[in-house]
Structure 1
């Protein structure tokens, strides 16, 4: 049967399609990718062949079933794994930030000037200043107690001290501390 007019028209349409620059560019890219596509197809073929071999190997299947039977992998474990995989991007960001902080802290730790500046800045905090004052007060008390000769303290001296407002304030703090500890232990 001789080709008709309709067959010739279709052939010309294909030729016209091939003359378009975007079609030619696409064909060129496809031809360049053919080796990569071939490698992918070979890999898929190898994977299928391996899978078929494993499925046919009853001993391997039995060992796999035995391992799965004795393992603690269950639906809950698989669901947890899927959820964990979903959170990996967030975990990765946290680990990267932790890594940045670690690098920063290491660089600060190695830089003597920065450490000195941090130390001096910390010494300017009110808490540190208050701590210094307390230590100085303790040192003065210790010095005064050791420099004076020891004398006998009578009960009348203690009663006299009890009238001192500072002693009363200290005893008030002691009583509040005992009450707080008692309430907490109940």
Structure 2
């Protein structure tokens, strides 16, 4: 009796499955695999607890990621935090641009008396106090760095 191509294919599939099962059984007979399986079985309660915790964390993260109200609240809160900083940066940038334009258009020479007059300006005084304090801090840090080495 001759086999049809369908029967031949089914027989090949069955023999491949049997070979696969034998390969698995051969693997299970190895001492290192048995030892690993024993250790794995001993740790199953811990693994189950970890999987439960990870599942709960995933569920929480998923619910937070899909909560449109929370996302909108976070965007609004972040916007309220960033807006003043953004406005201040824009103000400083526009002042710097305007000062640059004025400095380029003014070609007058500042002499000694002009410098003395500028020294009375509160903004110039503030700038000098800042520069002095900054230099003092840098000197203290440099002194501290050299002492620690």
TM-score, normalised via structure 2 length: 0.43
Which has the larger Rg?
Answer: 1
Q: Flag the structure with more relative contact order, 1 or 2, with Cα contacts below 8 A and sequence separation at least 6.
A: 2
